[in-house]
Copies of this chain bind each other. A is one copy, B any other.
Amino acid sequence: MLTKRQLLVLKEIIRSFTETGQPVGSKTLMAELPIHVSSATIRNDMKALEEAGLIAKTHSSSGRVPSTKGYRYYLDNLVEPAAATPYEIAAIQQGFGGHYYKIDEIVAQSARILSNLTNYTAITLGPEVANLKLTGFRMVPLGNHQVMAILVTNNGNVVNQLFTLPGAVDSDEVEKAIRIVNDQLVGLPLGQVARKLQGDVPALLFKYMTSPKGFLDIFGNVLKQAAAERFYVGGRLNLMDYLDDSDVRKVKQIFSLFDDDTSDINQLIGPVEGDPGVRVQLGQELTPDVLDDLSLITASYSVGDHGTGMIALLGPTQMPYSKMIGLLDAFREELAKRLTDYYSHFDQ
């Protein structure tokens, strides 16, 4: 069992190492610790901490650095979140200044604000689309066989895509098809819409259209887009600040993780059961192996019954956790407020 003083030493080692990035020696600790004991005493405590696997030496006669296990212990037991400063709150609010036409714009902006504020990399994910409903579908002919398909969901999100229609299409038929979609599918959750698209809808369309395949393709395509979870990354370049000594390949790999929509980002920062508030994952705990000497702080935010979304900060293992946790906590609240406000336009 570790004594109270030993934990104090651990805490101070982490604080100092976070600040300076240098291994911490017993003398430094003696000067910084609130209690007054000699460096020899501290050395004994450090030995105990090392035996417990919480700190480690870089070489046989060096100061100590926190180990992953040490951080884990610190985060689980010792860390005291620091409330966000008024300056930070102001910066967040100012960052959100301006008008947004889509939720995604707010979510994307969140990533920007967070990364600017922290100088780390921020990843944000919009509110879950689980109970998203279809509220409208339009197809606008633009001449030259071009058609824009627009799909609206009950959270006010809009996705659109351009298509080129093959040769001759009967615009009356398309008109009818759109009416069928709006009659049969509007108001249903997107999941159910997708299911019906495999089920009775094609048969229904066949009654009015000679070949509903093209139409179904278009609709299915836009629907898929609307149901896709899009994440936003801000401050990706900051990665280079804390990875510069290690090799470039790593940076490249992480970048392509961000660019690849099909990647496991969702798995990485997706919501977990039983909202744990702000959560920190470290080193090996992170699933894509590239991230294994980094640290990820995730936080969920909830927007009433519009589901919950996620915000996350990716940074070096030696982040100032107490500050970052406090900041993320403040941010999630602010973001939830914004989104609730935004949604209220669509809730009547």
CA distance A241 to B247 in the complex (A): 11
A38 interface residue (CB < 8 Å to B): no
- Given known pairs A162-B158, A240-B252, A248-B240, the reply for A142 and B150 (CB within 8 Å) is yes
A47 interface residue (CB < 8 Å to B): no
CB-based contact A142/B148 at 8 Å: no
Q: In chain A between 60 and 101, which residues have their CB closer than 8 angstroms to a CB of chain B?
A: 99, 101
CA distance A159 to B190 in the complex (A): 26
CA distance A162 to B157 in the complex (A): 10
A99 neighbours in B (Cβ, 8 Å):
164
CA distance A145 to B209 in the complex (A): 32
Q: From A151, which residue of chain B is reached at the shortest CB distance? A: B142
CA distance A85 to B136 in the complex (A): 51
CB-based contact B237/A145 at 8 Å: no
CB-based contact A162/B102 at 8 Å: yes
Task: State how many angstroms separate the Cβ of A245 from the closest Cβ of chain B.
Answer: 11
A163 interface residue (CB < 8 Å to B): yes
CA distance A241 to B252 in the complex (A): 10
CB-based contact A156/B144 at 8 Å: yes
A152 neighbours in B (Cβ, 8 Å):
142-143, 146
CB-based contact A140/B138 at 8 Å: yes
A16 interface residue (CB < 8 Å to B): no
CB-based contact B158/A146 at 8 Å: yes
CB-based contact B142/A138 at 8 Å: yes
Chain A 236-273: CB-based contact to B (< 8 A → 1; otherwise 0) = 01001100100010011001100000000000000000
- Given known pairs A237-B252, A237-B255, A248-B244, the reply for A158 and B142 (CB within 8 Å) is yes
- Given known pairs A240-B248, A252-B237, the reply for A140 and B143 (CB within 8 Å) is no
- Given known pairs A162-B101, A162-B102, A237-B255, the reply for A345 and B144 (CB within 8 Å) is yes
Task: State how many angstroms separate the Cβ of A201 from the closest Cβ of chain B.
Answer: 22
CA distance A255 to B143 in the complex (A): 38
Q: From A255, which residue of chain B is reached at the shortest CB distance? A: B237
- Given known pairs A101-B164, A160-B160, the reply for A346 and B140 (CB within 8 Å) is no
CB-based contact B146/A142 at 8 Å: no
Q: From A145, which residue of chain B is reached at the shortest CB distance? A: B345
Mind listing 10 A-B residue pairs with CB under 8 Å? A101-B146, A101-B164, A136-B142, A138-B142, A140-B140, A140-B150, A144-B156, A144-B345, A145-B345, A237-B252
Ranked nearest first, the 6 interchain pairs of A and B with the lowest CB-CB distance are A101-B162, A240-B248, A142-B152, A144-B346, A237-B252, A244-B248
Given contacts A138-B142, A241-B248, 7 further A-B contacts (CB under 8 A): A99-B164, A101-B146, A136-B143, A142-B158, A144-B156, A144-B345, A144-B346
